[in-house]
Chain A
Amino acid sequence: MPSTATTSRPTATAAWTRRHLLGLRELSADEIRLILNTAASFREISLRPIKKVPALRGQTVVNLFFEPSTRTRTSFELAAKRLSADVMNIAIQASSVAKGETVLDTVRNLEALKVDTIVVRHAAAGVPHLIARHANASIVNAGDGAHEHPTQALLDCFTIQEKLGRIEGLNVSIIGDIGHSRVARSNLWGLTKLGARVTVCGPPTLVPPTIAQLGVRVTHRIEDAIREADVLMLLRIQHERQEAKLVPSIREYRLRYGIDRERLARAKSGVLIMHPGPINRGVELDSSVADGPYSVILDQVTNGLAVRMAVLYLVSGAPEVSEELG
């Protein structure tokens, strides 16, 4: 067992006082660093032969997913299990406008079972906020519409920090469907708060012009996004975008904005290739690049587990990490 010294809660920087994690917009840089530091403590647990700590023993975590998800749901599930929580997965395949039980009625039923934390994924922006206003449980946002996906951005920050040793001063380019991306928004908040220079890139139909007011650089030319970047973060292009007339065709998008070897050759050496998954191979990312030496896509998945353990742990209000991990 590692000594408590390496796993103690970072001192003095910030204390975690929040019951929910709804987004990164409202977090301070210190709060984000606190989560990342806590995640670093948890990361090593995954390397042990017995990958479990009793931190949330006796607590119940519900994964309430109104939208299909494999990787985020399994990551949260495993994170909760490694903290010794009881876990329930609830998948409700209903669109936001379908008639049926209201979101709050669903949550009230869960609360009647005295659950402690509800991890929420929903296709509509703001649902975790709605639930947090009415629930006694802690709410963790696992992605709400095009709004935020805070744990994804946290694991992205964690991965950048791990691979490049810092975030401050780095150039990070986020490429793709910025307008519809909760990953882009959460990363924009997280990365800028931690001092990175963020560029967003895509055709004007996919990049809302108002985003420049949030302190990011906007470019519609992929060359400009690649040239100075330390990190290239690619977003999934959904086929619905073609139907919504936002891009003429998926092929056109690939030719103009897809990252292949040729484009990658113009990037700085050592550039990180990141993607929140699932990848559309051959659209936003050529297969050779996704599987290439610069790709840290699977490290993102590994780090996601530690970050989600940290988040579940912090919102639970459980005692000091050091006591639990000792």
Chain B
Amino acid sequence: MGKVLITGGRVIDPSTNRDGVFDILIERGKIADIQPNIPANGAKPLDARGRLVVPGFIDLHTHLRQPGREDSETLETGLRAAARGGFTAVCAMPNTEPAIDTRGVADFIHQEGQRLGLVAVRAVGAVTKGRQGAELTDFGELFDAGCVALSDDGSPVMDGLLMRRALEYARVFERPIIQHAEDLTLSAGGVAHEGLLSMTLGLPGIPAEAESVMVARDLALAELTSGWLHLAHLSSARSVELVRQAKRRGVHVTCEVTPHHLALTHEAIEGFNTDAKVNPPLRAEQDRLALIEGLRDGTIDCIATDHAPHADWEKDAEFAAAPFGIAGLETALGVCVRTLLEPNHLTWPQLIEKLSVKPAAIANLPGGTLKPGSEANLTLIDPDVSWTVDPQRFLSKCRRSPFVGWTLRGRVTHTIVKGGVVYSGDAES
């Protein structure tokens, strides 16, 4: 791999508190140097004037559907979508068929990811065999295979004792148990946020308490066990407050929020719009504002997409029967700019921290920094360009988005993984 010189961009690296115009020299897949003016000396130049140069985004929560549902997404299409979204690494959730509950399935994900040579992919293993919530998987084997965390994903660990044991046992590996916090006895088959709109539409509701009750239980168990709890995709104001209090007490908890929960409310399902059907459901405006505040004050550590692609025919169904999920990799940045930067909730360095630095630390992945010597995982952004969301042009197999027709500002122009360009917007347009 040759040398690349990225010149003239605004380099934002929250991990080193760097924010200014610098050149970056990449050599042998690593960041070799960052200086105001680096001579080319045979390096291939990449003109980044007017662009932001930031550590590549890392997604803690991606559904790639392979193995099992290759009609909805494959590693290849999902990782191409990730590259276009500015992600240099993604964590593949284990709700595949079969689930990622043995070394063999994890190895498949990692080997296929290596073969594709696009965005780095690391598996999140299952907490229980077949994600059935009954028997623990062999944690050590899954972590040895390179899994970054364990989660039963959309099937929350309902059994309190089992969750206690998982949090305790995972301490050996100093890795988190990721919980999709939902008390299934309270969500009770609901399909939308329980509120005025779900009532009006006659849809069974999922109360915010289905989440916050489980968040409260799991925070108590994390406190009891000193285990590391990571809460996936928080959606409600009460959950944010519970995490805020727990962090004050020193509980080992981290958590994430999705761009769609930051940008949308349950009003998005008006007219039975299944494109906005997601679990946890889009909630009320006060919840949305509390999520933004939680992100701002550090209660919420990072942004994760919960990219959940589905085939058209599955979304073109009865609202109650259509699958939960939003394809989020390709809209994440633009939606965050619109939702967090334009109203001045966050600055660019703060946003990069939430999309890159923090998730890198939680997943313990190379990246999240532009420090010389580190892996050259970078994203280049044109912060001013406007574009309109057209799901027909997604690189993901999914052709649906609740953001269809939105005009967003800010777009990834290059995604660089280990020094190699895996996405270039110049090739499009």
Q: A residues within 8 Å of B by Cβ?
A: 25, 96-97, 102-104, 122, 124-127, 129-130, 134, 144-148, 179, 182, 185, 208, 210-211, 213-214
Contact = CB atoms under 8 A, between A and B. Distances in A.
Interface in B179-198: 195-196
Given A96-B321, A104-B316, A134-B316, A125 B201 contact: yes
Contacts of B316: 102, 104, 130, 134
Contacts of B321: 96-97, 124
Contact of A103 (B202, B271, B318): B318
Contacts of B204: 146
B199 A211 contact: yes
B203 interface: yes
Given A125-B203, A145-B202, A147-B202, A103 B196 contact: no
A125 B199 contact: no
Contacts of A185: 200, 202
B272 A130 contact: yes
A129 B202 contact: no
Given A129-B271, A130-B272, A214 B318 contact: no
Contacts of A182: 202
A145 B320 contact: yes
A210 B195 contact: yes
Contacts of A103: 317-318
B169 interface: no
Contacts of B272: 125-126, 129-130
B205 to A, nearest CB: 8
A124 B318 contact: yes
Contacts of B406: none
B195 A96 contact: no
A213 B196 contact: yes
Interface in B318-366: 318-321
Contacts of A25: 200
Q: Looking at A126, A127, A130, which has the most chain B CB atoms within 10 Å of its CB?
A: A126
Given A146-B202, A147-B201, A210-B196, A125 B313 contact: no
A229 to B, nearest CB: 23
15 contacts: A96-B320, A102-B313, A124-B321, A125-B201, A125-B318, A129-B271, A130-B272, A134-B316, A146-B203, A147-B202, A147-B203, A148-B202, A182-B202, A185-B200, A210-B195
B317 A125 contact: no
Nearest to A209: B199
Interface of B: 195-196, 199-204, 271-272, 313, 316-321
B202 A125 contact: yes
Q: Which 9 A-B pairs have the closest CB atoms?
A: A126-B272, A147-B202, A146-B202, A124-B318, A125-B202, A210-B196, A126-B319, A208-B199, A124-B320
Contacts of A96: 318, 320-321
A41 B240 CA distance: 59
Contact of B317 (A130, A148, A214): A130
B113 to A, nearest CB: 32
Nearest to B205: A208
Contacts of B319: 124-126, 130
Given A96-B320, A126-B272, 4 more contacts: A126-B203, A130-B318, A145-B203, A148-B202
Contacts of A97: 320-321
Nearest to A244: B188
A244 to B, nearest CB: 8
B83 to A, nearest CB: 33
Contacts of B199: 179, 208, 210-211
Contact of A214 (B195, B200, B203): B200
A135 to B, nearest CB: 12
B188 to A, nearest CB: 8
A130 to B, nearest CB: 7
A193 to B, nearest CB: 14
A134 B202 CA distance: 22
A104 B202 CA distance: 21
A126 B313 CA distance: 16
A196 B117 CA distance: 67
Contacts of B317: 102-104, 130
Contacts of B201: 125-126, 147
Q: Looking at B196, B313, B316, B318, which has the most chain A CB atoms within 10 Å of its CB?
A: B318
Nearest to A95: B321
Contacts of B200: 25, 185, 214
Nearest to A25: B200
Nearest to A134: B316
B318 A127 contact: yes
A145 B318 CA distance: 10
Contacts of B318: 96, 103, 122, 124-127, 130
B165 to A, nearest CB: 30
A21 to B, nearest CB: 16
Q: Looking at A25, A146, A214, which has the most chain B CB atoms within 10 Å of its CB?
A: A146
A134 B312 CA distance: 13
A194 B264 CA distance: 34
A145 B203 CA distance: 8
Contacts of B320: 96-97, 124-126, 145
A147 B318 CA distance: 12
B274 to A, nearest CB: 8
B190 to A, nearest CB: 12
Given A96-B320, A104-B316, A124-B321, A144 B196 contact: no
A81 B314 CA distance: 36
Contacts of A122: 318
Contacts of A179: 199
A104 B316 CA distance: 8
Nearest to B192: A125
B321 to A, nearest CB: 5
A164 B312 CA distance: 50
A126 B321 CA distance: 11
B383 to A, nearest CB: 36
A102 B274 CA distance: 15
Nearest to A105: B313
